[in-house]
Amino acid sequence: MLTSGNPIDKRKVTAGILNVGIDEPAGNLFRLTSGLSLRPMTKKPPLPPKLLAECQAANELYLSKKNELKLNKRKIADEIGVSPAAVAHYLSGVNALNVKFASALARLLGEPVDRFSPRLAAEIADLAATTDHSNVTPMVQPRREAREYPLITWVDAGAGIESAGSYPLGISDEWLSSTENAGPSGYWLRVKGKSMTSDTPPTFPEGTPILVRPEGFDIISGKFYVARHTVTGETTFKQYILDAGVGYLVPLNQAYQTVQVEGDWEIIGRAIDAKVTGM
């Protein structure tokens, strides 16, 4: 209960806002503070020109790529964990950009932070450099540059290619980019069949491009790999599961058969990235 020594006219108090008086203009409102002191509600001051320019640059970059990437403020908001209105405030210059928003926006747009905010790009780099000397993992990592890898056939994957240089630009049918490091021999494959389709994530429907690192990878239970049958030359994409010391190639679709990794099977690459299709 509010007490001030004088009775309060309940007609003048509504939802925490106190009207100056019945005869005062309806828009002339004051915020109710502790001790019943009153202060006018003031408009937020505009951002300094440098910070406003960052917001404008970010918005222009977003507008130039949103159709290509099928991106909207809702998707950005979901990625960061804020409301679409908050995203709009950043892009319109109501609120200044910060590291969290800038790094997430850059990642979604596939562009470096310095395209719209050299200030925050330097701050992210400083954060990463400082963390190198501590045992704390930074919340924001510097963006890795995307690299192009050839999309090849399963026959080529089974035969083994010496390097991505075997498919120079203009010869391979298609090249796809990724920020993941697949090494100098990395390549993309399109998933065949429905054995890796699942009702719950992860799922790799037929036609999904997967990026394969064929060299310098570890075999870890639960990760996804491309394997080749040494006799028939058949290649397959499955999840590797180690159970009681025995390795298995496991499909995500339970209608398909699990294969034990024996002498006739060898793992020839690890899938480290995939692209969502059909959106």
210: β partners: 189, 274
Residue in the structure block whose two tokens are 């007609």: 11
Residues 6+ apart with CB under 8 A from 19: 12, 13, 29
**Total Cβ atoms within 10 A of residue 238:** 23
Q: What is the distance between the alpha carbons of residues 149 and 212, in angstroms, rounded to a whole number?
A: 10
pLDDT at 92: 93
Residue 129 CA to residue 133 CA, distance in Å, equals 7
**Residue 20 main-chain phi, psi, to 5 deg:** -65, -40
Whether pLDDT at 188 is above 70: yes
- Taking the domains of the chain in order of start, what are their residue ranges? 10-40, 49-131, 148-274
Q: Which residue carries 């937020």 as its tokens?
A: 44
pLDDT of residue 61 exceeding 90: yes
> Using the 8-state DSSP alphabet, how is residue 165 labeled?
G
Residue 14 pLDDT: 40
What is the rounded distance in angstroms from the CA atom of residue 31 to the CA atom of residue 16?
8
Give the number of other CB atoms < 10 A from CB of residue 192.
Answer: 13
DSSP-derived 3-state class of residue 100? helix
Q: Domain 148-274 carries which CATH code? A: 2.10.109.10
Q: Which of the pair, 96 or 159, is modelled with greater confidence?
A: 96
- Calpha distance 152→169 (Å, rounded): 13
pLDDT score of 73: 92
Q: For residue 116, what is the DSSP state?
A: T
Q: What is the mean pLDDT of the chain?
A: 76
- The pTM score is 0.47
Looking at per-residue pLDDT, the higher value among 45 and 267 belongs to 267
What is the pLDDT, as a whole number, of residue 125? 82
Q: For tokens 């010869």, what's the residue?
A: 171
Structural contact between residues 278 and 255, judged by C-beta atoms closer than 8 angstroms: no
Which stretch of 8-17, 18-27, 67-76 has the lowest confidence by average pLDDT?
Answer: 18-27
H/E element, 55: helix 49-69
What CATH number was assigned to the domain covering residues 49-131? 1.10.260.40
pLDDT tens for each residue of 68-113:
888 999 988 888 778 888 899 999 998 889 888 888 899 889 889 9
Q: Provide, rounded to the nearest whole percent, the portion of the chain with pLDDT above 90.
A: 32
In three-state secondary structure terms, 85 is helix
If you compute the radius of gyration of the chain from its CA atoms, what whole number of angstroms results?
28
| Res. 130: pLDDT tops 60 | no
Instruction: Give me the numbers of helices (H) and strands (E) for the chain, helices first please.
Output: 6, 13
pLDDT at 143 over 60: no
Does residue 140 have a pLDDT over 70? no
In the chain, what are the helix, strand and coil shares in percent, each to the nearest 5? Answer: 30, 25, 50
Q: Which residue shows structure tokens 């019943």?
A: 36
